[in-house]
Structures are given as structure tokens and as C-alpha cells.
Amino acid sequence: MKLVFATHNKNKFDEVKKLVPAHIELVSLTDIGCFDEIPETGATLEENAHIKADYVTKNYNLPCFADDTGLIVEALNGEPGVYSARYAGESKNSDDNMNKLLNNLKGQNSRAAHFKTVIALNINQEKHTFDGIVQGEITKEKTGNHGFGYDPIFKPNGYEKTFAELPLKTKNSIGHRGRAMKKLIDFLQ
């Protein structure tokens, strides 16, 4: 089965590809010749995931899934949330996003946060939604060289290391995207 993962993010694609069983041929937007930047105009993670999946279904008529992920920080009333990728501006620069978040948390006692991923799957003229959440906290400084996005400042509950310090296999088994992907893969089996 060929399945499109509606993303241009190579890091995210590579992370997800390691989770997909061999009988599923996972392809990216680039692989199908889609070079458009699909606008994320939804007010929620769910809406953004569906917008991206619907775009591929409408324009390429292929089974696909899309995800949207947000980092929700309690002390910041849920920020950056749906705006996580562009928290510090449209350039979507991870360092700028982390610096802004760390700066906004200065003086806050609570650093509790969670990541949430929502996956929208369009297959056989049906729509399905899966989600995954991981609880944790925001560290006071960046540590680790693995991962992407906010990984260097997010420490999942039960671990002493950030996502950027943990091996990808561990991150995938406990993380938000891995949890949502497990639900998707179980559904496809």
C-alpha cells in the first residue's frame, strides 16, 4: 500500500518512516511532486491536520495522512499551541521559537507542558483522526543534539533527559507522534 505523509519536513518524515511497517510504502509530498506549502489556517491542531490531508486528497487523489503538533505550556495559557511552528514568526526557526518560549517562562515556577499530535487520515473516501499526548516539562536551557523543533527543551515525565538527548527509538516509543502513529498503524492493520 502506498500512503502519502503530507509533509515537507525531512526530520519528521524520517522519524515517522521508522514507525511504519514494511508493507506500507510511505511517501512525502516531495515524492508525489507536491511542492506547495499547504496553509495551516485552522484554529486547532485537528483542523490543520485535516486541511493538509484534504489538500492531498483533493489534488492528488491518493490515500494520505497529515499531522499537526502543538506544544502546550500551562503557565502560558496553552501557548504556543497551534502556533508552535511559527511561535517566533513565519520563518519557523526552531531556535527562535525555543528562545521566545524560554524567555516567556522566565520567573515562572510551573514549567509543566505537553505535546499533542493529531493525525488526519483520508483513505477509501473516509476520514479518521488519531492523537497522541506526552506530558512533561520545559527545561531552563537547551540540551541535546537529536530531534528537532522543541526537543532540546522538552523533558518527558519519568525521564531525566530531553527528547533531544534520548535515542530516537525511545522518543518514538513514548512520544506524542509515536503514540498517534501507533493508533494509525493499528487501524491500518
Instruction: Show me where the domains of the chain are located.
Output: 2-188
Model pLDDT, residue 147: 83
Q: Which residues of the chain have pLDDT under 70?
A: none
Q: Taking the CA of residue 99 as centre, how many other CA atoms within 13 Å lie in the half-sphere pointing to its CB?
A: 7
Model pLDDT, residue 144: 95
With beta carbons less than 8 A apart as the criterion, state whether 53 and 63 touch: no
How many Cβ atoms sit within 10 Å of the Cβ of residue 128?
A: 16
Model pLDDT, residue 168: 87
Q: pLDDT tens digit string along 111-128?
A: 999 999 999 999 999 999
Q: Taking the CA of residue 59 as centre, how many other CA atoms within 13 Å lie in the half-sphere pointing to its CB?
A: 15
The question of whether 68 is a catalytic residue gets the answer: yes
With beta carbons less than 8 A apart as the criterion, state whether 99 and 93 touch: no
User: What global pTM score does this model have?
Assistant: 0.92
Sequence letter at residue 142 = K
Q: How far is it, in rounded angstroms, from Cα 187 to Cα 189?
A: 6
Decide: residue 86, CB within 10 A, 0-12 exposed, 13-18 middle, 19+ buried: middle
As a CATH number, domain 2-188 is: 3.90.950.10
Q: How far is it, in rounded angstroms, from Cα 65 to Cα 119?
A: 7
Residue tagged active-site, from 36, 54, 67, 68: 68
Model pLDDT, residue 105: 97
